Amino acid sequence: MPVRLDLRNLPPPEPMDRILDAVEALRPGDHIEALTPCWPAPLLPILEARGCAWRREDSPSGHARITIFLREGAGPTRTA
Protein backbone atom coordinates (compact mmCIF):
# COMPACT_ATOMS: atom_id res chain seq x y z
CA MET A 1 0.00 0.00 0.00
CA PRO A 2 1.43 3.39 -0.89
CA VAL A 3 2.08 6.10 1.66
CA ARG A 4 0.41 9.30 0.42
CA LEU A 5 1.71 12.65 1.65
CA ASP A 6 0.10 15.98 0.75
CA LEU A 7 2.80 18.48 1.65
CA ARG A 8 1.75 21.32 -0.64
CA ASN A 9 0.83 23.77 2.12
CA LEU A 10 3.89 23.27 4.31
CA PRO A 11 6.81 25.71 4.45
CA PRO A 12 10.34 24.53 3.67
CA PRO A 13 12.02 22.40 4.89
CA GLU A 14 9.00 20.49 6.27
CA PRO A 15 8.09 18.70 3.00
CA MET A 16 11.62 17.35 2.65
CA ASP A 17 11.79 16.39 6.33
CA ARG A 18 8.49 14.50 6.17
CA ILE A 19 9.50 12.68 3.01
CA LEU A 20 12.79 11.60 4.58
CA ASP A 21 10.92 10.37 7.68
CA ALA A 22 8.64 8.28 5.44
CA VAL A 23 11.64 6.93 3.51
CA GLU A 24 13.03 5.51 6.76
CA ALA A 25 10.06 3.13 6.91
CA LEU A 26 10.12 2.03 3.25
CA ARG A 27 10.25 -1.68 2.59
CA PRO A 28 10.78 -3.46 -0.73
CA GLY A 29 7.60 -3.18 -2.79
CA ASP A 30 6.35 -0.11 -0.89
CA HIS A 31 6.31 3.38 -2.32
CA ILE A 32 5.59 6.95 -1.29
CA GLU A 33 3.46 9.34 -3.32
CA ALA A 34 4.19 12.90 -2.25
CA LEU A 35 2.62 16.14 -3.42
CA THR A 36 5.04 19.01 -2.84
CA PRO A 37 4.76 22.78 -3.27
CA CYS A 38 7.56 22.73 -5.88
CA TRP A 39 9.98 20.27 -7.45
CA PRO A 40 12.20 19.02 -4.57
CA ALA A 41 15.54 19.06 -6.42
CA PRO A 42 17.70 19.15 -3.24
CA LEU A 43 15.99 15.97 -2.05
CA LEU A 44 16.94 13.82 -5.05
CA PRO A 45 20.62 13.11 -4.24
CA ILE A 46 19.63 12.30 -0.65
CA LEU A 47 17.05 9.79 -1.89
CA GLU A 48 19.56 8.19 -4.23
CA ALA A 49 22.13 7.91 -1.43
CA ARG A 50 19.51 6.06 0.63
CA GLY A 51 18.88 3.48 -2.09
CA CYS A 52 15.74 5.06 -3.50
CA ALA A 53 14.62 5.80 -7.02
CA TRP A 54 11.89 8.24 -7.98
CA ARG A 55 9.48 9.25 -10.72
CA ARG A 56 8.36 12.77 -11.42
CA GLU A 57 4.95 13.99 -12.48
CA ASP A 58 4.35 17.67 -13.12
CA SER A 59 1.04 19.13 -12.04
CA PRO A 60 -0.82 21.81 -13.98
CA SER A 61 -1.28 23.65 -10.67
CA GLY A 62 2.49 24.16 -10.33
CA HIS A 63 2.91 21.60 -7.60
CA ALA A 64 4.95 18.47 -8.07
CA ARG A 65 4.13 14.82 -7.50
CA ILE A 66 7.01 12.49 -6.76
CA THR A 67 6.76 8.73 -6.36
CA ILE A 68 9.61 7.26 -4.30
CA PHE A 69 10.51 3.59 -4.03
CA LEU A 70 13.49 1.44 -3.14
CA ARG A 71 15.77 0.53 -6.01
CA GLU A 72 15.75 -3.16 -6.82
CA GLY A 73 18.13 -4.95 -4.53
CA ALA A 74 18.12 -2.15 -1.96
CA GLY A 75 17.12 -3.07 1.55
CA PRO A 76 15.17 -1.05 4.08
CA THR A 77 16.61 2.41 4.67
CA ARG A 78 16.22 2.37 8.45
CA THR A 79 19.58 2.60 10.16
CA ALA A 80 18.53 2.04 13.76
Query: What pLDDT shows up at residue 75?
Result: 59
The answer to the question of residue 66 being in a domain is yes
Backbone phi, psi, residue 59, to 5°: -115, 140
CB-based contacts of 68, cutoff 8 Å, min separation 6? 19, 22, 23, 26, 31, 32, 34, 47, 52, 53, 54
Residue 77: name the closest of 33, 34, 25 by CA.
Answer: 25
Domain count for the chain = 1
Between CA 25 and CA 70 the distance in angstroms is: 11
CATH, residue 20: 3.30.110.40
The answer to the question of residue 12 being in a domain is yes
Between CA 49 and CA 53 the distance in angstroms is: 10
Query: What pLDDT shows up at residue 29?
Result: 92
- Tell me the three state secondary structure of residue 2: coil
Query: What pLDDT shows up at residue 74?
Result: 63
- pLDDT tens-digit readout, 22-72: 999 999 999 999 999 988 999 999 999 999 999 998 778 889 999 999 998
The answer to the question of residue 8 being in a domain is yes
Query: What pLDDT shows up at residue 80?
Result: 38
Domain that includes residue 32, residue range: 3-70
Residue 63 near residue 10 (C-beta atoms within 8 A): no
The answer to the question of residue 76 being in a domain is no
Query: What pLDDT shows up at residue 79?
Result: 42
